[in-house]
Amino acid sequence: DLLISTEYWLCLYSGRESPGPAVFRPLPGIQLRILQPNGQPAASNAPGELHLAGPMVCKGYSDAAVTQKTFLGHEGGAWWYRTRDLAQRTGDGIRFVGRADATLKVGGAWMDLHELQMKLQHVEGVRDVIVRCVPKTSTTAAGSGLCVFVVPDIPMPPTLWHRLRRILPVGTYLEPLLFLPLNPVTHKIAQKL
């Protein structure tokens, strides 16, 4: 995981200091492409999965099955790495827009968002929960952040925050919200927030 993080810093740079999401460009000798789920190139400004090739890409992992899913052989004479990051090509460069899977790096460790959601759903006092990967709002941060929406039982158990804290990653900030859209039929959190 550290190697993958290092690859980004070694192969992409951003010289823009203005507000808004960072825009990156590849360093010389680095190839990148943004592909749709069907493997075709994504149109300009359309999101797709970021693939990288260049001297920083290794030939795979010790696990052949993971290597087969993550590295795309010698397509076009290059060994391509599937980052699982969603990005879009803009007139200025490359912008990160999220993840293509349900994993997120939190505090230096990869976290499966579906697994976290299942754990939180079993906390006493939780009626419903949704875990999402959302774009960071900091002008200096690229990538995505963790956002957890919890509908507590009414009345809310006084120890609910403590129970949630035991499961959530260290450093997670909890902020109560007064309203979340609910599905009028199921009374669960609306999936499209």
**15: its two tokens:** 């010289």
- Cα separations (Å) of 53 from 33, 111, 154, 167? 9, 25, 52, 37
**pLDDT, greater one: 64 or 171:** 64
Q: Give 110-164 pLDDT, tens digit per residue.
A: 788 888 889 999 999 988 888 877 766 554 344 457 788 888 887 888 888 889 8
Same domain, 39 and 90: yes
**26: its two tokens:** 């590849």
Looking at the structure of the chain, the number of domains it has is 2
What is the band of 193 on the pLDDT scale with cuts at 50, 70, 90?
low
Average pLDDT over residues 160-173: 82
What is the C-alpha separation between 25 and 181, in angstroms, rounded?
38
CB atoms inside a 10 Å sphere around CB 181:
11
What is the band of 171 on the pLDDT scale with cuts at 50, 70, 90?
low
Q: Give 22-74 pLDDT, tens digit per residue.
A: 778 888 888 999 999 898 999 999 999 999 998 888 888 888 888 888 888 77
Same domain, 87 and 55: yes
Q: Give 73-107 pLDDT, tens digit per residue.
A: 777 778 898 888 889 998 888 888 877 777 777 77
What is the C-alpha separation between 169 and 175, in angstroms, rounded?
15
Q: Length of the chain in residues, anyone? A: 193
At 16 the pLDDT is 59
Range of the domain at 57: 2-97
86 lies in some domain = yes
Same domain, 90 and 122: no
